[in-house]
Amino acid sequence: MSFFYTQDQIRNRTKTVTRRLGWCSLVPGDILNACEKCQGLKKGEKIVKICQIQVIDMWGEILRAITHEDVAREGFPGMSTSAFIKMFTKHMKCKDYIIVNRIEFEYLNNG
């Protein structure tokens, strides 16, 4: 799973929730490689693994339902919910009423 925009939050382990378009088949217990970038690699570039994470919980919810607590868990403790929504919709080219998958995870002790 790519964490291109939140590499620092993954590296310092302040991010414990991520919102995604897709990833519908995840279930608690799934183990994923958190990577800098997984798609759109240029010729010669390789996937850079940051660490492994394990899915704790996952459900769909409307993006604009995000709470201040979850903005902090996304790795942005000083950001308002409206600023997070604006950032997400800009990067993901979507509307704020889209249903996203809220994925809660923990870090495995291997990196």
Residue ranges per domain, the chain?
4-107
Calculate the average pLDDT of the chain. 94
Place of tokens 């495995």: 108
CA distance 8 to 11: 5
Rounded (5°) CA angle 77-99-33: 60
The amino acid present at 26, given as its one-letter code, is: L
pLDDT digits 0-9 by tens, 2-25: 999 999 999 999 999 999 999 999
Query: pLDDT value at position 6?
Result: 95
Cα 40 versus chain centre, distance: 18
pLDDT digits 0-9 by tens, 80-90: 999 999 999 99
pLDDT tier at 39, thresholds 50, 70, 90: confident
For residue 77 the two structure tokens come to 């403790």
Query: pLDDT value at position 34?
Result: 96
Average of per-residue pLDDT across 32-50 = 85
* Cβ atoms of 96 and 81 closer than 8 Å: no
pLDDT tier at 50, thresholds 50, 70, 90: very high
Instruction: Flag whether pLDDT at 111 surpasses 70.
Output: no
For residue 96 the two structure tokens come to 């704020």
* Cβ atoms of 74 and 15 closer than 8 Å: yes
- pTM to 2 decimals? 0.91
Instruction: Flag whether pLDDT at 41 surpasses 80.
Output: no
In CATH terms, the fold of domain 4-107 is Sulfate adenylyltransferase (3.10.400)
